[in-house]
Chains A and B, each alone.
Chain A
Amino acid sequence: MRLVVDLNRCQGYAQCAFLAPDVFAMHGDEGLLYDPEAESAQRERVAQAVAACPVQAILVDEMDMAAAGRTAASAEAPHA
């Protein structure tokens, strides 16, 4: 899954690094490094990081997330 962080917005709150440490990592006190193409297994953690970012600086690929939504919906369908 593709993602990008707007580092103009990022203020180093590090919520993403706590929630998805395999994708986001602090570099120094307030610098951020991230994997721009995270494993799809990280989707749920990245979604949490997106939601938790106090400045909403993380953008995840819309089509990736839409596809994930469809997959989740179809997986749930048998139980409905």
Chain B
Amino acid sequence: MPDGSLDRLKREGRIVVVGASLAGLRAAETLRDKGFEGTLTMIGDEPYEPYDRPPLSKQVLLGKATADHTALPRRREIDAEWRLGVPASGLDMATRRVKLADGDEVPYDRLMIATGVRARPWPNEAEGELDGVFVLRTRDDGVGLARHLDAGPRRVLVIGAGFTGSEIASACRERGLEVTVAERGDAPLVGALGGVIGAVAAEMHRENGVDLRTGVMVTRLEGDTTGRVRAAHFSDGTTLECDVVVVSLGAQRNTEWLAGSGLGAGPRGIACDAGCRAFDVRGIVTDDVFVAGDVARSPHPLFGYQFLSLEHWGNAVAQAETAAHNMLSESSDRRPHIWVPAFWSSQFGVNIKSVGVPSMGTEIMITQGSRAERRFTGVYGYQGRVIGAVTFDNCRWLQFYEQQIEATAPFPPPFPTVDRRSDGQRPIPADFPDPSVPTHGPTITLSGYSPADRRMTFTPAGH
């Protein structure tokens, strides 16, 4: 029963948002939109105000924008106290305090965690620190990589052919740079879109002059006497001379600072309910800690109530809005976050977009266009229903398939395709690799318990 505590929270409460990126900013704006008049504190580990990351692997590498000009537009004034350049280092849920790395503590009545992910570093630390070796995630990464590409390296090596790696390779070719892409899987994008689409992506790389090497790992990076990277050694015994290396092996979730806090946080993210309320380690939902964006994982009814974590721009916005709404609502007014996953990529002049969870699909059917023309729609099926779709330069079809996914429409689609080309006749296996074999990180992670999944093991925490 409403007891006035919510009004008090709105009027004079303290809300702390940890994570000053897309999700954190949109959450803060939503809180003020919903009438929150109390104290709002934004904590971010980078010294910059919230900025947009997608341009870093696109506009910035193409030289069409600079990395320090990607600050996100504001929807409104948020009147927040900014604590930038200092990461959160701990959480005391009993006394409701966020600890900062500089020793300070910030008390809260409600907490929003949107700490996102960071680039997975090269596993050999000394090699990763060689001059010329980059990851691409932050604004500083973007500045450094763009500067090295401006200097005209003789050859760039991209390790990992997921979306980011492919976009980097594409930008390099557009700038006329020689680039080699090393991918452990059989093709680019296989983790996210499967082998059928991966084969199309591989052709795009090669047609555009990328030296694409699949089924191979980089075993060692070698520096010269001045500490600059000069070569890479491959698992097939070959060696490649290169003076820029971009490690593009997916992301890791920023949850280490929550170790020992009692929150249900780990390498897979922070578990929360569909209303963005975080679970504690006992599986009990909290009422004052909310989660949004890449670091959150929440159950989704369209995908068997499995816990989804989504490294998607649109998800960060939508989940932040829902979390902020729920944060200031009575329980009966809260709403679930049941956004349909959607993302885009742009590479080799082709616009790639997807909805749903293609990686859950076992079959794919090309319903419009043809793979040979690089203009098509692929629909993914799972247990007789439509579970995802991907378009290459065919994005106006996507909304239709988004509705099909939401309606759990049958697969293969019962309607005749309007397109009579040979690609569109029948479903074929989507050819996803064994998920237990590591590859570049997918942008969607299914991280819940599934009865069919026996690889999960329960590891009690030490505390």
Please say whether chains A and B are actual partners in one complex.
yes
On A, residues with C-beta under 8 Å from B are 2-4, 6-8, 10-12, 25, 27-37, 59-64
B71 at the interface (CB under 8 A from A): yes
Q: In the assembled complex, how far is the CB of residue A74 from the closest CB belonging to chain B, in whole angstroms?
A: 20
Q: Which of B58-66, B119-127, B181-189, B209-217 contacts A (4 or more CB under 8 A)?
A: B58-66
Q: Which residues of the partner chain A approach B351 to less than 8 Å between Cβ atoms?
A: 12, 28-31
Asked whether A36 lies within 8 Å of B55 as measured between CB atoms, the reply is yes
Asked whether A2 lies within 8 Å of B344 as measured between CB atoms, the reply is no
Residue of A nearest to B349 (CB): A28
Kindly state the separation between the CA atoms of A29 and B348 in the bound complex, as whole angstroms: 11
Asked whether A36 lies within 8 Å of B344 as measured between CB atoms, the reply is no
Asked whether B73 lies within 8 Å of A60 as measured between CB atoms, the reply is yes
Kindly state the separation between the CA atoms of A60 and B69 in the bound complex, as whole angstroms: 14
Q: In the assembled complex, how far is the CB of residue B65 from the closest CB belonging to chain A, in whole angstroms?
A: 5
A33 in contact with B314 given A27-B346, A61-B74, A62-B75 (CB within 8 Å): no
Q: Which residues of the partner chain B approach A11 to less than 8 Å between Cβ atoms?
A: 395-396
Told that A4-B72, A30-B393 touch, could you supply 12 new A-B pairs with CB distance under 8 A? Answer: A6-B314, A11-B396, A12-B395, A12-B396, A29-B349, A29-B393, A30-B395, A33-B59, A36-B71, A37-B65, A62-B76, A64-B73
**Interface pairs (29), CB distance under 8 Å:** A2-B71, A4-B52, A4-B73, A7-B313, A7-B344, A8-B313, A8-B342, A10-B344, A12-B396, A25-B64, A30-B395, A31-B346, A31-B350, A33-B58, A33-B59, A33-B64, A33-B346, A35-B64, A35-B69, A36-B55, A36-B65, A36-B69, A36-B71, A37-B70, A37-B71, A60-B73, A62-B75, A63-B74, A64-B73
Q: Which residues of the partner chain A approach B76 to less than 8 Å between Cβ atoms?
A: 62-63
Residue of A nearest to B343 (CB): A8
Identify the 3 closest CB pairs spanning chains A and B, nearest first. Answer: A28-B349, A61-B73, A37-B69
Asked whether A3 lies within 8 Å of B344 as measured between CB atoms, the reply is no
On B, residues with C-beta under 8 Å from A are 52, 54-55, 58-59, 62, 64-65, 69-77, 313-314, 317, 342-344, 346, 349-351, 353, 375, 393, 395-396
Question: Which one, B54, B62, B73, B346, contacts A28 given CB within 8 A?
Answer: B346
Q: In the assembled complex, how far is the CB of residue B149 from the closest CB belonging to chain A, in whole angstroms?
A: 16
Q: Which residues of the partner chain A approach B58 to less than 8 Å between Cβ atoms?
A: 33
Q: Which residues of the partner chain B approach A37 to less than 8 Å between Cβ atoms?
A: 65, 69-71
Kindly state the separation between the CA atoms of A8 and B52 in the bound complex, as whole angstroms: 14
Kindly state the separation between the CA atoms of A25 and B72 in the bound complex, as whole angstroms: 19
Asked whether B65 lies within 8 Å of A35 as measured between CB atoms, the reply is yes
A36 in contact with B59 given A3-B73, A8-B344, A28-B346 (CB within 8 Å): yes
Kindly state the separation between the CA atoms of A48 and B186 in the bound complex, as whole angstroms: 46
Kindly state the separation between the CA atoms of A35 and B346 in the bound complex, as whole angstroms: 16
Q: In the assembled complex, how far is the CB of residue A53 from the closest CB belonging to chain B, in whole angstroms?
A: 14
Q: Which residues of the partner chain B approach A4 to less than 8 Å between Cβ atoms?
A: 52, 72-73
Q: In the assembled complex, how far is the CB of residue B356 from the closest CB belonging to chain A, in whole angstroms?
A: 13
Kindly state the separation between the CA atoms of A61 and B75 in the bound complex, as whole angstroms: 6
Q: Which residues of the partner chain B approach A60 to less than 8 Å between Cβ atoms?
A: 73
Kindly state the separation between the CA atoms of A53 and B395 in the bound complex, as whole angstroms: 16
Kindly state the separation between the CA atoms of A27 and B54 in the bound complex, as whole angstroms: 15
Kindly state the separation between the CA atoms of A4 and B395 in the bound complex, as whole angstroms: 19
Residue of A nearest to B75 (CB): A62
Q: In the assembled complex, how far is the CB of residue A70 from the closest CB belonging to chain B, in whole angstroms?
A: 14
A59 in contact with B73 given A4-B52, A36-B55 (CB within 8 Å): yes
Please indicate which of the listed interface residues A36, A61, A62 has the most CB atoms of chain B within 10 Å of its own CB. A36
Kindly state the separation between the CA atoms of A33 and B297 in the bound complex, as whole angstroms: 31
Question: Which one, B59, B313, B396, contacts A35 given CB within 8 A?
Answer: B59
Q: In the assembled complex, how far is the CB of residue A14 from the closest CB belonging to chain B, in whole angstroms?
A: 12
Kindly state the separation between the CA atoms of A6 and B26 in the bound complex, as whole angstroms: 13
